[in-house]
Amino acid sequence: MADVPVTREMVEKVLAELLDPETGRSMARMEQIRHIGIDGRGVEVTLGLTTWSGLLWEETRAEAERLLREKLPAGIGVFVRVVEFVRPPEPIGEIGLTAKSVIAVGSGKGGVGKSTIAASLAYGLKNSGAAVGLMDADVYGPSIPHLLGVNERPHLENNRLQPIVKDDLRVMSMGFLVPPGEAVVWRGPMLHGAITQFLRDTEWGPLDYMIIDMPPGTGDIALTLSQILPLTGAVVVCTPQDVALLDAVKAIAMFRKVNIPLLGMVENMSYFICPDCDHRHDIFGSGGAERRAAELDVPFLGAVPINIGIRQRGDAGNTAGNFGDEATANFFRDICSKLVRQISTSHKAEPPLPTLTVL
């Protein structure tokens, strides 16, 4: 044990440097230091973290331990635990959506697995303890109902559309409202109205994350979203070959033109590992998205290989199963963690202004 006695003031001074991953502000100032205990065995600290930052709980706890061991007298025992800290979301945008982070998942073209990535992001965040909504904004080709294995119709309660709840995800899609095989033929104003209604008139409840599966290409919906919601940012999904990357670059340009921040790129169908010989085959080339992300100054969130299990589970409406298969789970967990870390880093660099509720 150290010769220098440790005081509460010393511990508080160290913890004042610790930033909340959700808000980017001092956890001490946000009253998230729930307990400080000092005795002959050392220092014990309890931190309160929100479900928004569930994927970052362990690294935040480890950072607190590192700071305490580094800045307190040598030889002091340190133990840090994390408990849940409740901070409800404030209404955002002109429609009053109660969500802390709104993330659009887009692509420059169809067929790159954008909806699979969007649904997997929603499941990965939900699995960390976050409250997650998943909105299918691909009005012309809604895939989310199929990927989740849902064919229910939403109903009204008190003039509010009730989202379909699947595996604790709150889901809304045009696919719930239009008979299978029927085409939606709408112009821009009708699309704007449908997307606004899905966001404004659905009883989403308090959310940590809203994931929006965008239609492919550079159409009207990104502009609609930028006008009615302060989006946290966008994730662009592509495949490695040059022709797909050309379209991904257009999607990135579109998001920048409507002032939606780029949170990162995901390279889907990146490579194939032969299950018989364990040899890697770069069917569509290798590393194209990562190189293009670096050129465009966009974070690279990770690559997902071509995997028969992902395809089979998607066809069977069991996208949740991607996290039960260790051959695929780690890819999606890693992408989700990098995504949340990217948002957290931006909050710490420039903490968002507090929302004032007008009574």
Can you give the three-state secondary structure of 249-280, one letter per residue? HHHHHHHHHCCCCEEEEEECCCCEECCCCCCE
Query: Which pLDDT band, with edges at 50, 70 and 90, does 187 fall under?
Result: low
Residue 25 has pLDDT above 90, yes or no: yes
pLDDT digits (tens, 9 = 90+) for 93-144: 888 999 999 999 998 777 888 999 999 999 999 999 999 999 998 877 789 9
Hey, what amino acid is at 286? Answer: S
Which CATH code of 3.30.360.10, 2.40.340.10, 3.40.50.300, 3.40.190.10 fits the domain covering 91-349?
Answer: 3.40.50.300
Distances (CA, A) of 114 to 4, 55, 152, 199, 259: 57, 22, 23, 20, 21
Distance of alpha carbon 251 from alpha carbon 245, whole angstroms: 10
Query: In terms of residues, how long is the chain?
Result: 359
Query: Which pLDDT band, with edges at 50, 70 and 90, does 2 fall under?
Result: low
Distance of alpha carbon 168 from alpha carbon 150, whole angstroms: 13
Average pLDDT of the chain is 88
CATH topology of domain 8-84: GMP Synthetase; Chain A, domain 3 (3.30.300)
Residue 10 has pLDDT above 90, yes or no: yes
Distances (CA, A) of 134 to 44, 106, 126, 163: 39, 14, 11, 9
| Confidence at residue 186, expressed as pLDDT on a 0 to 100 scale | 58
Contact 169, 132 (CB under 8 A): yes
The Cβ of residue 180 has, within 10 Å, a number of other Cβ atoms equal to 8
Residue % of the chain over a pLDDT of 90? 55
- Average pLDDT (224-243) is 87
Residue 170 has pLDDT above 90, yes or no: yes
Least confident of 82-91, 156-165, 268-277: 268-277
- Average pLDDT (25-41) is 92
Distance of alpha carbon 63 from alpha carbon 285, whole angstroms: 38
Contact 133, 210 (CB under 8 A): yes
What is the pTM for the complete model shown? 0.91
The Cβ of residue 359 has, within 10 Å, a number of other Cβ atoms equal to 3
| Confidence at residue 180, expressed as pLDDT on a 0 to 100 scale | 66
Segments of the chain assigned to CATH 3.30.300.130: 8-84
Residue 359 has pLDDT above 70, yes or no: no
| Confidence at residue 332, expressed as pLDDT on a 0 to 100 scale | 96
Residue 83 has pLDDT above 90, yes or no: yes
* Distance from the first to the final alpha carbon of the chain: 53
Contact 47, 60 (CB under 8 A): yes
Contact 198, 157 (CB under 8 A): no
Residue 1 has pLDDT above 50, yes or no: no
pLDDT digits (tens, 9 = 90+) for 261-314: 999 999 988 877 777 777 787 777 677 788 888 999 999 999 998 888 999 999
Q: Which residues pair with 43 in a beta bridge?
A: 38, 78
| Confidence at residue 345, expressed as pLDDT on a 0 to 100 scale | 93
Residue 353 has pLDDT above 70, yes or no: no
| Confidence at residue 110, expressed as pLDDT on a 0 to 100 scale | 79
Segments of the chain assigned to CATH 3.40.50.300: 91-349
Q: Report CA Rg, the chain.
A: 22
240 Cβ contact list (under 8 Å, min separation 6): 267, 269, 270, 271, 282, 284, 285, 286, 287, 288, 289
Contact 56, 344 (CB under 8 A): yes
Phi, psi angle pair for 325, to nearest 5° = -110, 115
Contact 171, 163 (CB under 8 A): yes
Residue 326 has pLDDT above 90, yes or no: no
Dihedral sign computed on CA atoms, order 354, 348, 238, 118: negative
Query: Which pLDDT band, with edges at 50, 70 and 90, does 188 fall under?
Result: low
Of the two residues 282 and 222, the one the predictor is more confident about is: 222
